[in-house]
């Protein structure tokens, strides 16, 4: 089976579209590739499936020693109803949404501005600034949690959304992803605007940004996913149940629900749902975005 893993690289690897062209004929080798890929896909989907089945069971069925994919007393949405009633899932989803949106917006604005300066403007100290920002890519966030916590206490920001948002807007690697893209935009396009006496800011807003939509989207996707799922810092910075983000809130109810497995799985699925839905709708953009920004590090 394995010998056929790359049956058709000669025709199928060069362009994404080429794979569609050659996809029809089913040789034994292709069948084997399909079987291995399907096996992996099943393994990767099992945790989702099992969580879903569990969430739609009664608590009694979920905790039954004999496990079942189809529960003896039938499927029920009780666990979801319960979670909605006494949990804070909708509130936490909202908290995650607006903090992640704020982080993404601020990151995009400040990173695009500095990236434009690094790409286009010859100013004194530019090289030093570039080196400092590059060097800062290696700073691991866990190193900062202790002093950052202390700083947030001093600023009276602990247990506010500001504490979640402000430290998460610095993405040096994304600055360089943007700079690299700006470097490729023809200067001629800006020169016409310069002749007209346009300011730097106007050129940036009216010429450069509209041409940079794909890279801005890629950076936005990368930053948003990271912010939406971040655990360590929001976990430290917030304690008040009303401002927790989804990942942190989930950790607090995990112990509250204890052995109520159906409710545990229902809340996990509700927490997973928003990004999975977004992914289903914007699959192409998200995959492209991650592939573009991924190797830049962070």
Residues 135, 172: Cα–Cα separation, whole Å: 9
Question: By C-beta, is 15 or 156 nearer to another protein?
Answer: 15
Question: By C-beta, is 212 or 238 nearer to another protein?
Answer: 212
Closest distance between another protein and the C-beta of residue 273, in Å? 10
Closest distance between another protein and the C-beta of residue 150, in Å? 7
Rounded to whole angstroms, the maximal C-alpha distance in the chain is 78
Closest CA to 234 of 141, 110, 140: 141
Closest distance between another protein and the C-beta of residue 196, in Å? 16
Which DSSP state fits 160? S
Spatial contact of 242 and 28, defined as CB atoms under 8 Å apart: no
Q: What are phi and psi of 241, to 5 degrees?
A: -50, -25
Q: Write the CB contacts of 170 (distance below 8 Å, at least 6 apart in sequence).
A: 107, 136
Question: By C-beta, is 85 or 143 nearer to another protein?
Answer: 143
Closest distance between another protein and the C-beta of residue 5, in Å? 6
Question: By C-beta, is 36 or 77 nearer to another protein?
Answer: 36
Question: By C-beta, is 18 or 101 nearer to another protein?
Answer: 18
Residues 244, 8: Cα–Cα separation, whole Å: 50
State the residue for tokens 């940079």: 212
Spatial contact of 1 and 35, defined as CB atoms under 8 Å apart: yes
Lookup: tokens for 78 = 């009780």
Closest distance between another protein and the C-beta of residue 39, in Å? 10
Closest distance between another protein and the C-beta of residue 193, in Å? 14
3-state SS assignment for residue 77? coil
Residues 68, 107: Cα–Cα separation, whole Å: 47
Question: By C-beta, is 126 or 156 nearer to another protein?
Answer: 126
Closest distance between another protein and the C-beta of residue 245, in Å? 9
Question: By C-beta, is 11 or 206 nearer to another protein?
Answer: 11
Q: What are phi and psi of 248, to 5 degrees?
A: -75, -40
Spatial contact of 105 and 166, defined as CB atoms under 8 Å apart: no
């Amino acid at each position: 089976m394995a010998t056929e893993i790359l049956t058709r690289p000669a025709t199928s690897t060069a362009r994404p579209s080429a794979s569609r062209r050659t996809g029809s004929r089913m040789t034994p080798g292709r069948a084997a590739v399909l079987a291995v890929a399907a096996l992996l896909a099943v393994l990767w989907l099992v945790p989702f499936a099992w969580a879903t089945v569990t969430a739609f069971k009664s608590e009694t069925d979920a905790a039954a020693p004999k496990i079942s994919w189809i529960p003896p007393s039938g499927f029920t949405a009780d666990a979801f109803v319960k979670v909605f009633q006494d949990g804070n899932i909708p509130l936490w989803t909202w908290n995650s949404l607006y903090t992640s949106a704020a982080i993404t917006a601020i990151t995009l604005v400040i990173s695009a501005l500095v990236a434009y300066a690094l790409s286009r403007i010859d100013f004194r100290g530019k090289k030093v600034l570039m080196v400092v920002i590059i060097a800062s890519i290696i700073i691991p966030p866990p190193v900062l949690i202790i002093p950052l916590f202390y700083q947030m206490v001093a600023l009276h920001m602990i247990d506010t959304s500001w504490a979640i948002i402000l430290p998460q807007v610095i993405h040096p690697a994304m600055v360089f992803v943007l700079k690299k893209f700006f470097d490729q935009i023809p200067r001629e396009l800006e020169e016409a605007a310069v002749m007209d006496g346009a300011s730097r800011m106007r050129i940036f807003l009216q010429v450069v940004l509209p041409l940079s939509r794909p890279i801005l989207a890629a950076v936005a996707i990368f930053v948003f996913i990271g912010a939406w799922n971040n655990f360590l810092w929001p976990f430290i910075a917030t304690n008040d149940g009303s401002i927790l983000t989804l990942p942190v809130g989930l950790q607090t109810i995990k112990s509250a629900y204890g052995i109520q497995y159906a409710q545990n799985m229902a809340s996990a699925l509700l927490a997973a749902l928003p990004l999975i839905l977004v992914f289903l709708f914007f699959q192409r953009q998200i995959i492209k975005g991650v592939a573009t920004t991924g190797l830049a590090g962070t």
